Structure 1
Amino acid sequence: MNGTPLNQPRDIMGHPRGLAFIVFTEAWERFSYYGMQALLVLYMAGYLLEPENANRVMGFGAFRTGLEAVFGPLGTQALATQIFGLYGGLIYFTPVIGGWLGDRWLGQQRAVLIGAALMALGHFLMALEAAFLFALLSLIFGAGLLKGNLAAQVGRLYARDDQRRDTAYSLYNMAINVGAFVAPLVCGTLGELYGWHYGFGAAGIGMLVGIVIYLKGRHYLPPDGKRIDRGDRPKLQKGDGTTIAAILALFVVAAMYWSAQFQVWNTYPLWIKERVSRSVFGLEMPVTWFSSLDSLAVLALAPLVILYWRHQRARQAERGDLIKIMQGCFIFGLAYVWLAAGEWLSDGGMVGLMWPVLFHFICAIGFLYVGPVMMALVSRTAPEAVNAMMISAYYLSLFVGGFMSGWLGRFYEPLSPAGFWLLHAAVAGAGALIVLLGYGAFRRMLRLG
């Protein structure tokens, strides 16, 4: 069934009816995920990890001992960012395993439903302080089962040569950003202003809505495909090993980018809370709203960036993917230089609101030049025999990036805020430098001509 169009009774806007159910399921899943993520570091650093509260968390003493055996002594803030880094990284590691389980054992539909149920359970367990570690594990394994298997069903709605596939994935990614934009406004506001558990509960309800939508549209979705016989799989060809090595090297660049990007969700909210004047017309803006601003910037700038690329293409001046990735890493580094400049010019006072607001729009341009472009480059250049595997392996760069953001978070207190942001500018800039120095070799190894 994989690769063949589905016999749908009615299309919606020229697309199979099942796409709408997948898109809305993903929007609610991202609502739940980003709603919880917007609160997590603030919740840990500002409440849960205080000594009098941490003692109530089951297994936390042994867990902290294990972390400090690896990373050294950790204060409350460093411990919070390290836990977030591990959580954020594992969220993008487990889909590699979840996709394999969906393909080989559970089937994609069953994997999505089990994953969604685990995520809903995790959100509701967050309301119980004692169950905090079990909540994180439930969310990690749930996301691993849901993420890759839901995305894979988008492609299976279409024949391999169906040009609507690109538009379908664009709509799917739009749902991700819409959910990520709305979630901090709802869950973040509830958690930050009215009580942490209200925010986590709202995230859990959002996941339940996603489950209902998925179940309603399940009969419009592609049935789980059969296992592909080993003899039918394409084989690696001569020279494919060189291409794979180049892609793995680019994953190092991606990991550097994501190390800087993850800090926007990790230590950055703590900086916003401590260092930024958030007063607007006499009202104080919640910290979590800045997470919404990050997604809003992507939604606002994506059409403009696409139009700019189209204009370049018409003039035969569009840059190749490697150049775009290099530019994106450099722009992301400049975003952190901008934050450092805000600290310098504040002269010890509170940083003005314009600095973080414009920071998110600079970050959005960097993301649009790196994230989707890197995925497209891997999809186009990876050998057919391992194409899907290499695309899945890309998420390992997010795993490393999340892990590194937690490790880098320990330097927030020893360094000045400006120095901390310049450190991240250097990390992103190093990614740009690797592409610049290896540009010719990358082109040859990826057979870009």
Structure 2
Amino acid sequence: MTAVTADKSDRAFIGHPKGLGYLAFTEAWERFSYYGMQSLLVLYMTKQLLLTPHVENIGGYSVFHGFIEWLYHPGASTQATASAIFGLYTSLVYFTPFFGGLLADNVLGKTRTVILGAVLMAAGHFLMAFDQSFLLALACLMLGTGCFKGNIAGQVSSLYPDGDLRRADAFQIFYLGINAGVIAAPLIAGTLGEKVGWHYGFGVAGVGMLLALVIYLFGRRHLPMDPPRKAQVGMGADAPAKPTMSARDWRTIGLLVLLLPVLTASVLCNQQIFNAYLSWADTAVNLEFNGEKVPTTWLITLDAIVSVSFLAGMVVFWRVWKTRFKEPDELGKLTIGTGISVLGVLCLAAGAAQAAATGTKVDILWCVGFHVLNSIAFANMLPVSLALYARAAPKAAQASIIGIYYLHLFAGNQTVGILGGLLEKMPATQFWLMHAAIAGGAFVVFLLVGRVFARLLHTDQVGGGPAPVAP
């Protein structure tokens, strides 16, 4: 394979390198498969898999269930068990990219690791079609995502030479690809799963992953060469040495690690959407239109549509804003986004309180308000933080640092799994107020220390720092 090098003159894909187009479409189909499966997971477990006679068919479930009860909720109900499994699975999905980064940096390189991840994920989706292989399917999906997720994001960053300000816009385009997949996933996989059969939904998710792999393989020649790995060093006199780590690099890594707990608290409201939020909405929210209840998973499509709109809208907003005012840096935008996420989850608390007072179901408009505010928050949080870690990471450990970045989502989803089990033990109003309080704490911490981190993390930034949502 002949791979390209980062080239500032390559503008073949809407002003960006051609490789970005292949990576964005690969990620769109990969996210279609991932979110198609994830939008069904909790509903599938609570409505079929964890009930008799299906639960008895799951290979190794008795041992696994004992571990879940020990780790989360002794004597847990079906809903609490499903929430715990969801939390364990989705948290490990964001833990394994650290090892995927090590594998790419030291053994296989990003390209081969991404291919391995895609194959494992496709196998995992198809294995979901059988009760017996449920746990094996989750294991394949976790390992596959670990190989795939961080490394493909690192390849986006590698398309651009140092100082190329298009890198910030590239992550916005990359996230638009993600959201395109998220929009389609519940409409296709979710509807098939809820209306036709759960396994049809999981099967179409597997097809989506195969399409992602085909697109990636077709576009390999447009991606930069992987940097030399340890196994290659010393193979010849002309072999370039692997970049070394300076003292400044280690300080930068330390600062990025210190941000992880705050990032964890800031994302809880967003990460709960696929877990307790779906279970709560399935029974507590009025989802009837023209006398028929629409699939609960369509709320994920609503969230994705709104997210895409505000993701693009925030790019325009910050471009207009900086013509008259100073644009916030990454940590400033993270602070703004976290504050808005608090307002979003307060909509759910208000809707639950109103429904409890009137004895009715929650009006769907409260959910719409939540998704609008949460999407504005998302546009100023996840793409911004990913761009920060990709930019600030030392080149010698970029894939590993992006893997470390995903540890905040590992911790966040673990917390989401634990908190989700409390949904049936407390009023919904209190449940959502609890989430608002946790995110509010993150907002306060960002507000107090953000300025310090912003100054220490300024490296190649221009004019107060690169704006991940507006170059």
Aligned to 2:376: 365
CA 1:211 to 1:376, structure 2 compared with 1: closer, same or farther past 3 Å? closer
Asked whether the equivalents of residues 332 and 362 of structure 1 are also in contact (C-alpha less than 8 Å), the reply is yes
Deviates more, 1:267-276 or 1:343-352: 343-352
Distance 1:276 1:434, change over 3 A: same
SS of 2:121's partner is helix
Query: Pairwise mapping of residues 186-335 of structure 1 onto structure 2 (< 5 A)?
Result: 186-227=188-229, 233-237=243-247, 241=251, 244-335=253-344
| Structure 2 unmatched ranges of 5 or more | 234-239, 465-471
Identity percentage over the alignment? 42
Residues 211 and 361 of structure 1: CA distance in aligned 2, closer, same or farther (over 3 Å): same
- The structure where helix makes up a greater share of residues is 1
1:219 partner amino acid: R
Letter in 1 for 2:448: L
C-alpha distance in 2 between matches for 1:115 and 1:264: 25
Deviation at 1:112, TM superposition (A): 1.9
Change in 2 beyond 3 A, CA 1:244/1:286: same
Q: Deviations over 1:253-294 (max 9, x none)?
A: 110122222111111100110101111233322100111111
- After TM superposition, the score normalised by the length of structure 2 is 0.87
Alpha-carbon distance between aligned partners in 1 of 2:147 and 2:391, rounded to the nearest angstrom:
25
Q: In the TM superposition, what is the alpha-carbon distance from 1:146 to its structure 2 partner?
A: 1.4
- Secondary structure in 1 aligned to 2:436? helix
Counterpart selection for 2:348 from 336, 339, 352:
339
Could you tell me how far apart the structure 2 residues matched to 1:303 and 1:428 are?
24
Cα distance, 1:235 vs. partner? 3.5
> 1:162, 1:421 → 2: CA distance?
42
Tell me whether 335-344 or 212-221 shows the greater mean CA deviation.
212-221
Task: Name the stretch that deviates more: 87-96 or 109-118.
Answer: 109-118
Name stretches of at least 5 consecutive residues in structure 1 with no aligned partner: none
Q: Is the 8 A contact 1:3 1:156 kept in 2?
A: no
Alignment partners' CA distance in 2, 1:360 and 1:53:
34
Secondary structure at 2:133 match in 1: helix
- Is the contact made by 1:256 and 1:427 (CA closer than 8 Å) also made in structure 2? yes
Distance 2:351 2:10 in 1: 56
**How many pairs align?**
448
Q: Residue in 2 aligned with 1:94? A: 96
Displacement after TM superposition at 1:358 (Å)? 1.7
CA distance in 1, matches of 2:267, 2:146: 19
User: Hey, what does 1:356 align to over in structure 2?
Assistant: 367
Note closer, same or farther for the CA distance 1:12–1:424 as it changes in structure 2 (3 Å cut). closer
Counterpart position of 1:412 = 423
Q: Deviations over 1:358-406 (max 9, x none)?
A: 2111100111222222234445556677665444311100000011100
Instruction: Identify the range of structure 1 (184-193 vs 274-283) with the bigger mean alpha-carbon deviation.
Output: 274-283
Shift of 1:247: 3.1
User: Take 1:12 and 1:379, find their aligned partners in 2: how far apart are those partners?
Assistant: 21
The answer on whether the counterparts of 2:73 and 2:81 sit within 8 Å (CA) in structure 1 is no
**1:2/1:156 contact within 8 Å kept:** no
User: Under a length normalisation based on structure 1, what TM-score does the superposition of the two structures give?
Assistant: 0.91
Q: How far did residue 434 of structure 1 move?
A: 1.5
Cα–Cα, structure 1 residues 235 and 120, in superposed 2: closer, same or farther, change >3 Å? closer
CA 1:324–1:134 in 2, change beyond 3 Å: closer, same or farther? same
CA RMSD of aligned residues (A): 2.8
Match of 1:40 in 2: 41
Moved more, 4-13 or 99-108: 4-13
- Residue 412 of structure 2 corresponds to which residue in structure 1? 401
Aligned with residue 119 of structure 2, among 114, 117, 124: 117
Q: Which amino acid aligns with 1:93?
A: F
1:320 & 1:9 partners in 2: Cα distance?
A: 27
Q: 1:304 to 1:194 in 2, by over 3 A?
A: same
Q: Distance in 2 between matches of 1:267 and 1:29?
A: 24
1:115·1:141 contact (CA, 8 Å) conserved in 2?
yes
Q: 1:397 to 1:293 in 2, by over 3 A?
A: same
> How far apart are the structure 2 equivalents of 1:405 and 1:165?
32
Alpha-carbon distance in 1 for matches of 2:194, 2:247: 55
C-alpha distance in 2 between matches for 1:397 and 1:317: 29
Q: 1: distance between equivalents of 2:20 and 2:321?
A: 32
- Residues 22 and 387 of structure 1, relative CA distance in 2, 3 Å threshold: closer
Matched AA of 2:49: L
Distance 2:194 2:173 in 1: 31
